[in-house]
Every structure is written in C-alpha cells, then in structure tokens.
Amino acid sequence: MVNNQNPSQIHVLDQATVNKIAAGEVVERPASVVKELVENAIDAGARSIRIDIVSSHNDIANVRISDDGCGMNPADTLLAFTPHATSKITRIDDLTHIRTLGFRGEALASIAAVSRVSLITRPRGTGVVHGTKVVVEGGVLQVTGEIGAPEGTTVLVEDLFFNTPARKKFQKSKNTEISHIHALLEGICLAHPEISFRLFVDQHEHLVTDRTPRMLDTIARIYGSDVVKELIPVNLSLPFITIVGYTSRPSLSRKDASRLIISINQRFVSSPLINGAIREGYRTLLPKERFPVAFLSLTIDTGLIDVNVHPTKKLVRLSREKEIVQAIQESVSTALLSHDLIPAVRTASHLPIAEPGENSIREPGMRYDLPEAVSSGTSESTHAGNVTTDRQLRQTELSTGNVPVGTKLPNMEVIGQLGGIYILTTTESGELILVDQHAAHERILYEQVLARTGGDHRSQELIVPVILHRTSQEASILLDLLPALAKAGFVLEEFGRDTFLVRAIPVVLGKLEDTTMIDEIISDLVSEEPSRTVNNRERITRVIACRGAVKAGTICTKEQCQRIVYQIRNTRNPFTCPHGRPTMLRFSRADLDAMFKRT
C-alpha cells in the first residue's frame, strides 16, 4: 500500500481500462469526501493524517485532510484533477492485483466538480523547496502556482455540492454526517495501526490514534480498556488467508453488527458474509439476537478478491468464498473455545459500566429461565434412578471421536448436588461453579452424537424392535427424516401404513429398559416445526441429546456428579447446551465476599 516512489507518476488511463472500472458516483456525502481523501493520504505512504471538519449552523462547511505522505510534483498536481488520472495502475491487468486503496483516478476530479478544492503539496525527500498550490472550483481551474509548504499534501474542500442543490438537500443532519465520518475513521484506524490519525470537529478532538505495530493499542485508544479486557485474540494462517485480530467474550455483545470491524488487505470493508461467519463462530455461545464485538484483519491473496465491483469499494467480491467463510468461522470458534468462558455471576454494583450511550451488555451475557422446579425423588425411586443414571453416564464415557480439551477449565471438585438439578463444585482458587446437570449432560451427548454421526459405532440393535404408530401427517414427516435419522444411529423402517419398526437406536442412548424415550424423541421430531436456521441433522442431534440426557430432578450420587463434571470439561464447547443456555455459572470468592459485604 505504501507508495515510496517519489514523486508519483500520474497518467490518464486508456479507454479500455476505464471501461473495465466499476462506474458510479463516489461523492455522495461529506463522509465520502473524507474517505477518498484519507485513502489518498494512506496510498501516499503517510505516517500521520489529520482530518479537520468545520461545521456551520446545520451542515458541514468544509473538510481538510493533511498528510505527510509522498506529495506530488507540479505537473502531477494538475494532472491529479483530470478524470481517470492515477499513479496507481497502468494497465487492465493491474485490476486483478490491486494493492492500493485507490485506482480509479476519479476521486479528486469528482470532488472538485461539486465543490471548491484547494490542494497544496510538496514532494517528500526530493529536495524540491517549493510546494505547489492548485485551486479547482466546480471542475474549473482557478489558481495554480508555487507556495511554501511542508512535505506532504493538504486538501481543503469547501462549499461541497454548491452546484448540485439536489444532493446538498439530501444531506442528513450535521450530527448524522459527523457520526458517519467517525464510524468510517474508526474502521480505517483499525485497518492501519501503523498510521497516526487525528480527527478534529470544530477544533475539538474527536478521535486520535498513535502509530503502533499493535492493533490492540489502537482498539484500546478508541474503545477503552473495558472493551480490551473482554477480547480474545484470533490467529489463523492458511495458504490463501491470514486472519489476525480480536473477538469478544460472549459477555460483551451488542444488539447489532456495528462493532464487527473488518479489513481485507488493510482496506476497511463491510461484508455481511464475514459478519455472518463471525457470528457462526459463536454458535450457541451467544443468544440469537446478539452480535459479538470483533476486530479482524484479513490478508487474502489479491488474486482472490475483486475490489472493482462498486465505486466506493466498500463491498468486495471474494473468490473461494466458502473456504474464506469457513476459515473465519473456525478461527473465531477456536479462539473462543480455547478460553474459560464460564460466565461470572456478579452483584449489580460489580457489573462493569456499559459504554456510554451503548447497547452493549457486560453482565453475564447468557440469560436463561430456571428449569421448572422438580420435586426430589423418594428414596426407592432414587435407587432405581441411580441405576438408570449410571447407564446413561456410562454410555457417554465410551467416547471415541472427541479429543479432550478440558485443560482450559479449572479443576472442579464436586461438593454436592442441589435439588436434583445443580451440581455444586469448587475450584482450587476457591470459586464456586454451579453446573446445570441436564444442560451439561445434553452438551456431552450432543457432541457424542455429532462425533459418531455416519460412523461405524453409531447404532446398537434392539433385541426386540419397537413399533411406532403415527398419524399419517406425522408419518410423512418421519419418512423424510429417515435417512438423517439413520446417520445419527436410528434405524427405522416402514411397517405397514403409518407404522414404523425401530430396529436400532444411537449407542449414546445406552441400553434402554424403558423404550418410551424412543417414542418421545420421534414425537419431538415430527411435532416440531421445521426450522429454517437449523438443519435436520442438527435438530435430530439436539433432540437425542435432550431426551437422552439425565433429567433435571434426577438425584445423582457424588460419584455420578463427578462423572458429569469430568465429561463436560472434556467437551469442545463446555459452556452452553445445544440450545445456547449456559451449562455453568461461576461465583468467584471476591464476588461472593462482595455479595456478603465482607469487603
């Protein structure tokens, strides 16, 4: 991106190249002017860029961008205002490997066509003592001449849209424009930590970053240390893509995607596709309606991205889109799941303060309703129950596919069980961690079923096949599900009209004494509305996990509790059940002390 050739050689592109360039207006609003001029400063290799916005009563009066980049010699300075004049590409072929932010050669010409532009520039490091000044108004050259100037370039844009009243009228309020500029610059600053940016609005400092090799410093400078504390580093390097950056713990989330800030090859872009991939990386770690905060910098082979699809280049087209999406999702989920994400329970007074005027939540991100209270079993039923529970737990210990990753969680020693629902555990550091036994076992089974799907050890034959009768409507739904059920380990065959024979069931369900569980699972599947977001495999897996898991209200022995805890610690995502409810909550000693006012 950095242009170190001094001075740059500007030339007018040939018609064939011009015809290949995505056409359209780039100067729609004041923020577009800022974007184009700041990008020119970055392409000029600036280390420091200053943006001054001066407002009048109800709109933006003028915009000034100053940089210490390579500058221009006198001949280039005039040429820079000619349409399709650029120093950044020469031939059509260059369009397939763009490394600069600009390449269309149109911004200065378009801006000067609808405003009064004064540009002062002096080439850097060439010994040229005088700068050049050019003033163009409504596309007409007004002034040109020598002037004393520092190295670098300053562009002042006044009277924007003076000759296009329609566009001027469509400007939103001054504050809306300023917030657009602010958001734009946040993205650009994060894509370029190596450049220092300063934004002033009516001489008040709005946004300042320092030159730094570390993106995290820039994040801290813009969003503060409260946000930084909640971030987890993301790193992935594949032959065609490198992903570095940060993504938030589930405890920091927002109601929209506005803080998913992405750059590709140091170009700040907006990509619903990438936003979707990041969210997918959270799977059930975030409730459906919440968005994480993430700052990702992607480096992708220039041959795989096409920035020439839209004149403003904020949208880019990606080849190998599927692999890129997959890589982003993987990088985010791997980063998250290698950390201890058990949400802390804190008293209200200990919740970190929300960002001013923000909709972020910092309290334990995942709220849920307590399961219905269940009466604890009587002593006889408890003994029988323990036997059943043993069977249920044993099956999930026969795990094959899953590689234990439990190291990210502290050791948890079982203290006891509460109400047949919660397992109380403690860690070496004296924390109290409560485990929802059903949710935890559901997660364990879920991962087991997924690991075995389609594999050799997925099903066990029933000694006596079970016969299921369904209504004809249910039967037709079930018929469609048979192949997916078989992959998960359920072997059913049609047995006369609206009747099915269950020959085998998933191994993870264990040896069933009571076959009503089979009926429950099938009933759940045929009665549930098919969902657009969850595919059949996922639905089946969730239902098997839910029905197969130890129920809330089951009294477990300490040893059984310890087995659940051992198993949940060894899942890939021990933090949430397949539906996204938490499996554990933590109370640190400090938080408990604070709640008891022992401080």
User: Quick check: 62 binds Mg ion (CB under 5 A)?
Assistant: no
From 33, 98, 108, 484, residue interacting with ligand ADP (rule: CB under 6 A): 108
Alpha-carbon span 423 to 161, nearest angstrom: 67
> Minimal distance in Å, beta carbon 363 to ligand ADP?
46
Number of residues written out for the chain: 599
The residues that bridge with 413 in the sheet, in sequence order, are 426
Alpha-carbon span 173 to 150, nearest angstrom: 35
From the list ligand ADP, Mg ion, none, partner contacted by residue 71 (C-beta under 5 to 8 A by kind): ligand ADP
Q: Which residue is nearest to Mg ion (CB)?
A: 102
Choose the binding region for Mg ion from 34-42, 202-210, 431-439, 495-503 (rule: CB under 5 A).
Answer: 34-42
Amino acid type, 578:
P
> Minimal distance in Å, beta carbon 3 to Mg ion?
12
* 107 vs 540, beta carbon nearer Mg ion: 107
Amino acid type, 15:
Q
From the list ligand ADP, Mg ion, none, partner contacted by residue 279 (C-beta under 5 to 8 A by kind): none
> Minimal distance in Å, beta carbon 309 to ligand ADP?
15
Q: Which residue is nearest to ligand ADP (CB)?
A: 102
H-helix segments, 460-578: 472-488, 516-527, 536-548, 558-569
User: Quick check: 250 binds ligand ADP (CB under 6 A)?
Assistant: no
Alpha-carbon span 509 to 590, nearest angstrom: 41
> Minimal distance in Å, beta carbon 106 to ligand ADP?
6
Axis-axis angle for helices 437-452, 536-548 (nearest 10): 130
User: Quick check: 40 binds Mg ion (CB under 5 A)?
Assistant: yes
User: Quick check: 561 binds ligand ADP (CB under 6 A)?
Assistant: no
Subset of residues 80 to 99 that bind ligand ADP, contact rule: CB under 6 A: 80, 85-88
From the list Mg ion, ligand ADP, none, partner contacted by residue 80 (C-beta under 5 to 8 A by kind): ligand ADP
Subset of residues 68 to 107 that bind Mg ion, contact rule: CB under 5 A: 102, 107
Is the bond into 7 cis (omega within 30 degrees of 0)?
Answer: yes
192: its two tokens: 């370029």
User: Quick check: 40 binds ligand ADP (CB under 6 A)?
Assistant: yes
> Minimal distance in Å, beta carbon 83 to ligand ADP?
8
Hey, is 91 helix, strand or coil?
Answer: coil
From the list ligand ADP, Mg ion, none, partner contacted by residue 561 (C-beta under 5 to 8 A by kind): none
List phi, psi (to 5°) of 440.
-65, -45
Residues 158 and 61: beta-carbon distance below 8 Å:
yes
* 28 vs 280, beta carbon nearer Mg ion: 28
Site mask for ligand ADP (CB under 6 A), range 44-83, x = bound? x----------------------x-xxxx-------x---
User: Quick check: 582 binds ligand ADP (CB under 6 A)?
Assistant: no
The residues that bridge with 305 in the sheet, in sequence order, are 318
Nearest to residue 297, comparing CAs of 339, 335, 264, 344? 264
From the list Mg ion, ligand ADP, none, partner contacted by residue 522 (C-beta under 5 to 8 A by kind): none
From the list ligand ADP, Mg ion, none, partner contacted by residue 552 (C-beta under 5 to 8 A by kind): none
453: enclosing H helix or E strand? none
From 29, 35, 50, 104, residue interacting with ligand ADP (rule: CB under 6 A): 104
Q: How many residues bind Mg ion (CB under 5 A)?
A: 3
- HSE at residue 440, side-chain half, CA atoms within 13 A, is 26
161: its two tokens: 């849209």
Tokens 């780039």 -> residue = 26
The residues that bridge with 154 in the sheet, in sequence order, are 66, 120
Alpha-carbon span 161 to 30, nearest angstrom: 9
Burial of 342 (0-12, 13-18, 19+ CB in 10 A): buried
Residues that bind Mg ion (CB under 5 A): 40, 102, 107
Residues that bind ligand ADP (CB under 6 A): 8, 10, 36, 40-41, 44, 67, 69-72, 80, 85-88, 102-109, 153
